[in-house]
Amino acid sequence: MSLFKSEGCKHLTGINDTKHLTSEKEILTLPDEYSKEVYVPLVDPGKGLPINVEAKVGDHVKVGTLIGTRNMFGNLIPIYSPVSGVIKGEENILHGGLGRMAKHYVIENDFKYENVKVCEPFSLESDSDTIIDAMQKLGLVGLGGAGFPTFIKYKGVKDIDTIIINGVECEPFLTTDYNAMIKESEELFLGASLMMKAAHAQRALICFKQNKVRVYEALKDKVHEHPGLELKLVPDVYPMGWEKLLCKTVTGRTYEKLPAEAHVIINNAQTAIELAKSSKTGFITRSKMLTVTGEGLKENANVIVPIGTKVSEIVRFMGGYTIDEGVVLLGGPMCSRGLMNDNCAILPQNDAITVLRKLKRRTQQCLRCGACTDHCPTNLQPVEIKIAYEHKDMDRMMALKPTVCIGCGLCSYVCPSQIEVNDFVKKAKALVMMEQTKRKAAEAKKAEAAKPQGGKQ
């Protein structure tokens, strides 16, 4: 145990005030002319491996027609068409999650939005297995950025007593959870209750920041009508939405790898809302609310778009770019990386498009002030990792465990010398992961060679 635990979080000033750009504005719906074609990746969003394709070019599809399946921990996860129309071909475009080109189906949208039921409707009367099975058939994934399949969190887990509904949305600029929680409070309550039922949990804690007065006003009177649901207001610090920090803050419990170790399952607020909507129809989630924002865009607003719409089309709807040099992020500024281009499609888990001017950082020498270490939520020593990376000292890098980094960007944010410490940690993390794979393979080879040889006596 370390005597010198980091603060692990910080109230972000200035950059956090950017939420007002969209928070109270009318929510727009993308007009049809901007989604004439939608794009469905034919690769797994995690490792980029090809999916098992079920539909072919020329097929007529509906909302919910199976395009293919991907495999995760031995579970099949369906990938559906988000629109009705015709699969008109394949195209290699940028995959926003992987950061590289990948094959996509191009679906010509007929705007009829005919739906296919992918599961039977379900309710609070349904049993746990039925709800978890429906989560799988719906292909529901975490809609707060991670995109992790929801049913995997529930399947086979035991002794869960608490569901945490994460509506913290601690990234600057982002306001979709905020708006969804205000406007769809009944769905939020139903989704949280369904999740409780699925996990046999006794309570669900709906968490959001204490400065979100309108969310509190929208939920406070009705929450008591739903057994087991509680509101939990958390401090306005970053990265309060990080699962480990949130779990510790609202339950006092810690865990090493998975929240289930602390008898908890954590889901994003919009995931709960979408589960509730699908429970009434058996239809998939086909559209997504995005915060489309930043000084580099003519207009800023929250926009509901069909999943698979191209970023470039959404930007066109917002009046285009207002700057010549900048960065387009699929997400908020703290965690997301810049896109190589805007010819890429929206995935269910994307929550924002943020366009910012390139920061002219006046990087100074490291002061050895320790601020990056003091603030790292995972108790890393970012400055030491940076030094080890610069010296190409692999053993030291491995000892400093950059693989634990969650990419929150706080080390860069607090650095008085304006050093992009996070970039060094990211690079060290990639190198260490490669080295670990290499060493594992070498060990396996050694173990194989050491095995007694069978065969002839």
CA gap 22, 113 in Å, rounded: 28
| 150 within 8 A of 271, measured Cβ to Cβ | yes
CA gap 412, 378 in Å, rounded: 14
Output 70 or 426, the one with its CB closest to ligand SF4. Answer: 426
> Which residues contribute to the site for ligand SF4 (CB under 6 A)?
366-372, 376-378, 380, 382-383, 405-411, 414-417, 419, 421-422, 425
Paired strand residues for 101: 94
Kindly state the smallest distance separating residue 4's Cβ from ligand SF4, in Å.
14
Kindly state the smallest distance separating residue 422's Cβ from ligand SF4, in Å.
4
Secondary structure (DSSP) of 275-314: HHHHHHH-PPP-EEEEEEESTTBS--EEEEEETT-BHHHH
CA gap 129, 156 in Å, rounded: 10
Output 260 or 371, the one with its CB closest to ligand SF4. Answer: 371
CA gap 38, 159 in Å, rounded: 42
CB within 8 Å of 76: residues ≥ 6 apart: 69, 70, 136
CA gap 285, 342 in Å, rounded: 23
Kindly state the smallest distance separating residue 255's Cβ from ligand SF4, in Å.
17
| 91 within 8 A of 79, measured Cβ to Cβ | no
Nearest by Cα to 191 from 246, 150, 240, 139: 150
Output 150 or 373, the one with its CB closest to ligand SF4. Answer: 373
Q: Which residues of 308-326 are buried (b: 16+ CB within 10 A; e: fewer)?
A: bbbbbbbbebbeebeeeeb
Q: What are phi and psi of 268, to 5 degrees?
A: -70, 150
Kindly state the smallest distance separating residue 372's Cβ from ligand SF4, in Å.
3
For residue 266, count CB atoms less than 10 angstroms from its CB and return exposed for 0-12, middle for 13-18, buried for 19 or more: buried
- Residue 378 structure tokens: 């995972």
Output 61 or 237, the one with its CB closest to ligand SF4. Answer: 237
Output 236 or 374, the one with its CB closest to ligand SF4. Answer: 374
Kindly state the smallest distance separating residue 369's Cβ from ligand SF4, in Å.
4
Output 188 or 397, the one with its CB closest to ligand SF4. Answer: 397
Sole residue written with tokens 């810049």:
338
Output 362 or 368, the one with its CB closest to ligand SF4. Answer: 368
Output 25 or 401, the one with its CB closest to ligand SF4. Answer: 401
Output 147 or 407, the one with its CB closest to ligand SF4. Answer: 407
Kindly state the smallest distance separating residue 429's Cβ from ligand SF4, in Å.
8
Kindly state the smallest distance separating residue 235's Cβ from ligand SF4, in Å.
18
Kindly state the smallest distance separating residue 33's Cβ from ligand SF4, in Å.
40
Three-state secondary structure of 353-372: EEEEECCCCCCCCCCCCCHH
CA gap 201, 195 in Å, rounded: 8
Kindly state the smallest distance separating residue 211's Cβ from ligand SF4, in Å.
23
Nearest by Cα to 16 from 173, 168, 169, 167: 173
Output 364 or 437, the one with its CB closest to ligand SF4. Answer: 364
Kindly state the smallest distance separating residue 379's Cβ from ligand SF4, in Å.
8
